[in-house]
Amino acid sequence: MSPTPPDQTGPTGRTDPTTRSAPSGGRLLAVSDLHIGMSENRAILESLRPGSDEDWLLVAGDVGEMTEDIEWALRLLKDRFSTVVWAPGNHELWTPREDRVQLRGVARYRHLVELCRGLGVLTPEDPYPVWTGPGGPVAVAPLFVLYDYSFRAPGTDTVAQSLAYAHETGVVCSDEYLLHPDPYPDRGAWCRARVAETERRLAAHDPAVPLVLVNHYPLVREPTRVLHYPEFAQWCGTELTADWHQRFTTAAVVYGHLHIPRTTWYDGVRFEEVSIGYPREWRRRGHPKGLLRQILPYPAQPATAPNGAATTAGQGTSTR
């Protein structure tokens, strides 16, 4: 990679606080939901630069939908950051009719993993890299566990009822039409297989080295409680991961998908939602925590007691 001077001003003209200082040894930075299919977001991606040649970047999914876009974006980031770690979002797993790659489900995921390997970008299929810079050592574990509709809509008792309720209200994730589970019978089955495999790997990890867990979805349901449409939560994770931040020694959890950038604490563990989101969202709320989130070294103490209370809040909509 070629180190570049930090660009302190994003395309919106705001100063990105994460680029103000670059401690020696570098920083562990994170971002998600770049959605570069939108030209204004492409400009944001092009503005992202490390503060030093030792910075790592964790990318928690939803870079884009088209294979060509995903490759362009990850190549650009890998050219700038010494290490780039990617966990897939639902958008990368879509099979849009316009994409040159028409693979579906597991085959598309494997294709993206191979694409990353060609770029030198780390994926959930690689050994967990160890950050030994400031705040370390920690092992960075990119996860791919999808969702299984267990974050059911309020007042419903079964997955079928929950999905039916969403169809009644019209708040239905585009995954239903574009994210194919092949060869699994449904997305829930794919999720359960990924959870089992991921649990096996996390259990085999040396607990003496804390983990930074990077997943597109929050590992616990609580962050979805502020969604504007609560029935959208069924596309936002799984109850099967609810205790992972406690079962496995966890320094921090990085996630996106909700497009509600904030820091919250659950059971004393820091959860960082690192989304950029859609232009209509960031035009309204700005980038309250900067474009790139500093995960380590941890830059500040929590503003509230580390027991589930949010330091900032936001609202969500139905398209993630």
Indicate the DSSP class of residue 61: S
Distance in Å, CB of 20 to Fe ion, minimum = 27
Interface ranges with Fe ion (CB under 5 A): 33, 62, 89-90, 257, 320
Q: Which is nearer to Fe ion, 27 or 91 (CB)?
A: 91
Distance in Å, CB of 284 to Fe ion, minimum = 16
Distance in Å, CB of 47 to Fe ion, minimum = 19
Indicate the DSSP class of residue 129: P
Q: Which is nearer to Fe ion, 89 or 237 (CB)?
A: 89
Q: Which is nearer to Fe ion, 152 or 259 (CB)?
A: 259
Distance in Å, CB of 141 to Fe ion, minimum = 19
Distance in Å, CB of 90 to Fe ion, minimum = 4
Q: Which is nearer to Fe ion, 205 or 285 (CB)?
A: 285
**Chain mean position to CA 227:** 17
Distance in Å, CB of 23 to Fe ion, minimum = 30
Three-state DSSP class for residue 269: strand
Question: Phi and psi for 75 in degrees, rounded to 5?
Answer: -65, -45
Alpha helices in the chain (DSSP H): 39-47, 67-80, 105-119, 159-169, 175-178, 187-203, 244-247, 279-285
Three-state DSSP class for residue 218: coil
Q: Which is nearer to Fe ion, 90 or 215 (CB)?
A: 90
- 219 within 8 A of 239, measured Cβ to Cβ: no
Q: Which is nearer to Fe ion, 93 or 138 (CB)?
A: 93
- 264 within 8 A of 271, measured Cβ to Cβ: yes
CA geometry: angle at 133 spanning 20 and 275, to 5°?
55
> What is the secondary structure of 232-267 as a DSSP string?
GGGGS--GGGTTHHHHTTEEEEEE-SS---EEEEET
Cα distance between the two ends of the chain: 31
Distance in Å, CB of 229 to Fe ion, minimum = 15
Using alpha carbons, list the distances in angstroms from residue 303 to 88, 264, 311: 30, 10, 6
Q: Which is nearer to Fe ion, 89 or 290 (CB)?
A: 89
**Using CA atoms, how far apart are residues 307 and 314, in angstroms rounded to an integer?**
19
